[in-house]
């Protein structure tokens, strides 16, 4: 197990490999009453940031606009016994054409096709605070 804390935006290469793969991440956010909220998401990287997308009015988006702290837990498809756990915070929301470029990259990676345009979507850019690779 490797844990790094306070290292700024540098992702461990093993964490980046998992984030850039097709394992589903589970996103944990904080509800208004302080209780946890978890949901599966497509996840990836965009430069040194971690990204996922959602509807602008979704529960997770509302939680993160109020309190940007989050955790991601990923059990890699190819090695579920070397999980990646990340704590960070949303530092920017991307909308419009820039968001759709990222969304389509994620959708093609996971589903093999661009994401349908029927609903508004936004992308959360996450700055890493802490990462753990492996079980310890």
CA atoms of 108 and 111, how far apart (whole Å):
5
**What does residue 22 show for φ and ψ, rounded to 5 degrees?**
-115, 20
99: number of Cβ within 10 Å: 19
Report, as ranges of residue numbers, the positions in the chain whose pLDDT lies below 70: 1-9, 136
Which pLDDT value is given to residue 135? 76
102 with 94: CB under 8 angstroms? yes
CATH code where residue 58 lies: 2.30.110.10
Structure tokens at 102: 């990222």
Q: What is the CA radius of gyration of the chain?
A: 14
Structural domain including 113 reads 2-133
CA atoms of 118 and 65, how far apart (whole Å):
23
Which pLDDT value is given to residue 8? 57
With a CB cutoff of 8 Å and minimum separation 6, the contacts of 58 are none
Which pLDDT value is given to residue 7? 45
**Interval 61-73: pLDDT, tens:** 999 999 999 999 9
Report the number of distinct structural domains present in the chain.
1
């Amino acid at each position: 197990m490797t844990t790094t804390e306070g290292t700024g935006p540098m992702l461990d290469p093993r964490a980046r490999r998992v984030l850039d793969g097709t394992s589903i991440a589970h996103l944990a956010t904080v509800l208004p009453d302080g209780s946890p909220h978890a949901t599966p998401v497509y996840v990836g990287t965009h430069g040194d940031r971690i990204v996922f997308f959602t509807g602008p009015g979704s529960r997770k988006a509302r939680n993160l606009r109020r309190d940007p702290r989050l955790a991601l837990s990923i059990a890699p498809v190819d090695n579920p016994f070397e999980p990646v756990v990340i704590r960070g915070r949303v530092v920017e929301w991307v909308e419009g054409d820039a968001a759709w470029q990222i969304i389509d990259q994620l959708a093609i990676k996971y589903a093999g096709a661009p994401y349908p345009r029927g609903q508004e979507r936004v992308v959360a850019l996450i700055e890493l605070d802490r990462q753990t690779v492996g079980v310890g």
